[in-house]
Chain A
Amino acid sequence: MRIAFFLAIIVFAGTGGEMFVSRAMKRIGEVHDFSPRSLLRVMAGAFSCGTMWTGIGLMTLSFFALLALLSWRNVSFVVPATALNYALGALGGRYLLGERVSRMRWLGVALVCLGVVFVCIG
């Protein structure tokens, strides 16, 4: 029960946080220049946005739940089990971020999730 609860925090807070972060970076626009000064400017722009901080807050929550779970189970169980994020991520990408998720992409995501089930059985 404790494991399932922490796993749920990792999956929902982690995926939700990543979607907020993705939204913030799309607002910044594509990065073309990778010089240190330009990267600093991009990061300053990204971190002055409320959406980014909401995302980071949720990801931080997920991170501490991950640390706790890592103290109870092996990394080769914990990290693959958190791959349930991928099913939620594809749904979020499609319905919340407006991305076009083709059949091939859905199939790929389904295989990633199936792989996670195998890993958990193992």
Chain B
Amino acid sequence: MEIARRMHGKTLVFLVLMVTFGPLGDVLLSRGMKRIGAVSSFSPGPLFSTFSKVFSSPAIWLGIGSLFLFFISYLLVLSWADYSYIQPVSAIGYGVVALLGYFFLHDAVTVWRWAGVLTICVGVFLVGQTPHSTTTPV
């Protein structure tokens, strides 16, 4: 019982880290890519030029750093929890993305999108009620 409780607390901490750094990374990448402009051609020259712009953008590097922290948290939590548990529960990040997109990037977020985010949150709540680990290490 004590082990299960400790494991649950540990899972929660890493989920919070994932939900913080994942959406933050997505928003930073979006901001960086919007500044660079649409990818208009996939021929080597323009593609190389786009890549050099991408990797000289501070927003892109901050986004990559944030996604790196997300990835480490994700790896650690996957060492004990089910993939089919962690993946949907981390969807709570969509609410965070909608909020960040709305407040920081001034994206239009319609009533349907807010309803979608709410439905996702209910789904996450249901998945969160199931045991987070159903397998033994391979």
Residues of A within 8 A of B (CB): 18-19, 21-23, 25-31, 34, 39, 42-43, 46, 66-68, 70-72, 74-76, 78-80, 83, 85-86, 89-90, 92-94, 97-102, 104-105, 107-122
By secondary structure, the B interface counts as helix
Closest CB-CB distance, B48 to chain A, in whole Å? 14
- State the CA gap A75–B26 with chains docked (Å): 8
Max count, chain B CB within 10 A of own CB: residue among A18, A74, A78, A122: A122
Cβ–Cβ contact B82 & A75, under 8 A? no
Cβ–Cβ contact B84 & A116, under 8 A? no
Contacts of B124 in A (CB 8 A): 108, 112
A sample of 14 cross-chain residue pairs with beta-carbon separation below 8 angstroms, ordered by A number, consists of A18-B87, A21-B78, A26-B135, A39-B76, A74-B107, A76-B102, A97-B83, A102-B130, A108-B130, A109-B88, A112-B91, A115-B116, A118-B116, A119-B112
B36 within 8 A of A: yes
- Write the chain B residue with the least CB distance to A91: B84
Contacts of A107 in B (CB 8 A): 123, 126
Which single member of A39, A93, A120 contacts B84 (CB below 8 Å)?
A93
Which single member of B82, B97, B110, B120 contacts A112 (CB below 8 Å)?
B120
